[in-house]
Structure 1
Amino acid sequence: MERLPPLSSLLAFDAVHRTGSVTAAAARLGRTHSAVSKQLHQLQDHAGVELFRKQGTGLVLTPGGRAFAKVVAAAFDEMRGAYATLTGASDQSTVTIAVSATFARVWAIPTVSRFNLDHPDIDVLIRLVGPLGSRELEVAPDLVMSWDRLLSPLAEEPFAVSLGDVHMGPVVSPAHRCSLSDGVLSFATRIDRRGAEIVWDNWSRLTGIAVEAGKVMSYDHSYLAFEAARMGMGAVIAPRFLVEEELASGALVAPAGFLVFKDGFHVRPYDTRHGKLTKNARLFLDWLKVNARLTDDGLPAAGPNLAETGVNRLPHL
């Protein structure tokens, strides 16, 4: 038997996540502060776990609440976009981006939420694509994100805009057997993203570090591969900005440091031939160039300072 909570409580929860406060969420939804607060408590009671806690005069999401909020936000964006397509209500005022589920959860949802604070009248819809972008989109997006330089080397794209350097390397739980000695990185299990197995060979070739693993396991999605690594099941190659929280907490470490791909994080128009964008898509792209660049350490611009994560840096590529 399914136990989904009332839709109204999820809408309130999503609005609080996007705006950062119950007061702003109430204004966004056209409801009273007490009504939104009541719906938040209704959701928490239904879930049976703590999603938020009081801090001063307001509420803050717990780590579990933040993780769930990102999933809820992505689901609502998907539904809004699908409904707009169904009803023919989609127009040039909406901006659509195509990203993977892992990228959406860690980077796209927080970034779009910040954009909405500056431009609440522009809806940015997130379309999820499968591994290697395998899912066909019924409606072409405005913008496409690209970051995996070990899988797709930089190509000449006249309309692409760089949002910073991409730092990539193997990450592993401290509990997993792993060693780096005499130019050989050894661990019990290598974790692959299915369809992207070549990244290990490319990383080894570019760094000069050989890789030895007792066995190999594969997952269809990056999120599953990263979670398996976090749980101590093996080592996976990841971009630093998608596993920053795990590195900061010590759940993951980067035993061989990170390769740095200069200007490797790209956003480009879906229309690669002419680079055409709607007015709002261009505005969003210009906002990204100023407000969403990765830091010099390869971290999200709005993320915590992770300078002390105990990882090494390898030369720029």
Structure 2
Amino acid sequence: MLAPRRFLPSISSLLALEAVDRLGSATAAAEELSLTHSAVSRQLKVLEEQIGVTLLRRVGKGLALTPSGADYARSVRDCLNDLARASLKIRAGGARSSLNLAVLPAFGMHWLAPQLKAFSTQYPDVTANLTTRLSPFDFAREKFDAAIHYGGQDWQGVDYLELSRERVIPAASPELLAHGPKTAEELLSMPLLHLESRPGAWEEWFAAQGAEADRLRGMLFDQFTAMAEAAALGFGVALLPEYLAESEFLRGRLHPAFPDYLPLAGRYYLVWPNSLPPSRPLASLIAFLKDAQGKAITAPR
């Protein structure tokens, strides 16, 4: 249910308040909004009367927001930004339906994007919008239809579709691997690159190889792509997922620093809130990915 009209000021008055807060004066706000100073003052007066709270106060010949006015201006700015983003999405999509996905950047670029290319061919009336999110969030507060999640089924209030299992391999620049892949013991003496969201990843990898490793240090990154770039520049050895490693191996920027991949317990999932049935575009994507997974499993090797 929409709020009563008395709590829904005009866009013009909200734009005036936001501009005065951001620019510091009604004169500057009037110039940005292509209005007269008196027109901005009228908009603000109408807004104060509608809200019933003093939002501005006189300071010399100028205006300053009261604490209540400043708080309200921040909320107004968020609402205006949400409205602008919604307008951009519908303008970009035109008559097509939108599907808003929160993705892990490297997986989204190297694994999901090719899938979405095929999906868009089969469903040309759906536009997929991608935004980066590195950790779980509240679907009730974020305007996403679905998200990519890595790990276990530990995201509350969602349904899951498994997309891919995880395998990792150490990778480094050709210059660091002049004599080919290394043993686990040799890798211990080389600079190792680390990912913030995978603490203990190297320790787990060395343990799987039967090598003791403790308190490993090295450069820290927040995304796989940045870590792969640093590895290509020769900063050290990166422990990369298969979808990214294979891409870098094909380009020749990185070479395997160890002969084999190591399977991990983590999985990549498509997740979506289970409180409501999936929208038509999301249901189409779920069905498409399920079909693609089935074909991958039954394909001859």
Match of 1:128 in 2: 132
Match of 2:119 in 1: 115
Q: Secondary structure at the match of 1:226?
A: helix
Matches within 5 A, 1:156-167: 159-167=159-167
Matches within 5 A, 1:168-247: 168-176=168-176, 180-181=182-183, 185-211=187-213, 216-247=218-249
Report sequence identity in percent: 17
Q: Find the partner of 1:103 among 104, 107, 117.
A: 107
Amino acid aligned to 2:270: V
Match of 1:288 in 2: 289
Do 1:189 and 1:214's aligned partners in 2 also have CA atoms closer than 8 Å? no
Do 2:171 and 2:238's aligned partners in 1 also have CA atoms closer than 8 Å? yes
**Residues 255 and 124 of structure 1: is their aligned pair in 2 closer, same or farther, counting only changes over 3 Å?**
same
TM-score when normalising by structure 2: 0.56
Match of 1:146 in 2: 149
Do 1:162 and 1:266's aligned partners in 2 also have CA atoms closer than 8 Å? yes
Matches within 5 A, 1:55-74: none
**Residues 246 and 293 of structure 1: is their aligned pair in 2 closer, same or farther, counting only changes over 3 Å?**
farther
Do 1:184 and 1:212's aligned partners in 2 also have CA atoms closer than 8 Å? no
**Residues 137 and 159 of structure 1: is their aligned pair in 2 closer, same or farther, counting only changes over 3 Å?**
closer
**Matches of 1:199 and 1:119 in 2, distance apart?**
38
Unaligned 5+ segments in structure 1 are: 1-80, 302-306, 308-317
**Matches of 2:206 and 2:283 in 1, distance apart?**
38
Structure with max Cα Rg? 2
Do 1:111 and 1:292's aligned partners in 2 also have CA atoms closer than 8 Å? no
**Residues 92 and 251 of structure 1: is their aligned pair in 2 closer, same or farther, counting only changes over 3 Å?**
closer
Aligned length: 211
Q: Would you tell me which structure has more helix in proportion to its own residues? A: 2
**Matches of 1:156 and 1:98 in 2, distance apart?**
14
Q: Secondary structure at the match of 1:159?
A: strand
Task: State the 1:206 CA deviation.
Answer: 3.9
Task: State the 1:188 CA deviation.
Answer: 2.4
Do 1:162 and 1:265's aligned partners in 2 also have CA atoms closer than 8 Å? yes
Q: CA RMSD in A?
A: 4.0
**Matches of 1:105 and 1:247 in 2, distance apart?**
16
Do 1:185 and 1:210's aligned partners in 2 also have CA atoms closer than 8 Å? no
Unaligned 5+ segments in structure 2 are: 1-81
Task: State the 1:199 CA deviation.
Answer: 1.7
**Matches of 1:170 and 1:163 in 2, distance apart?**
23
Amino acid aligned to 1:265: Y
**Residues 154 and 171 of structure 1: is their aligned pair in 2 closer, same or farther, counting only changes over 3 Å?**
farther
**Matches of 1:259 and 1:105 in 2, distance apart?**
22
**Which whole-Å deviations, capped at 9, do the CAs of 1:189-248 have from their partners, x for residues lacking one?**
111123433222233334434458995111232211011112221111111112322122
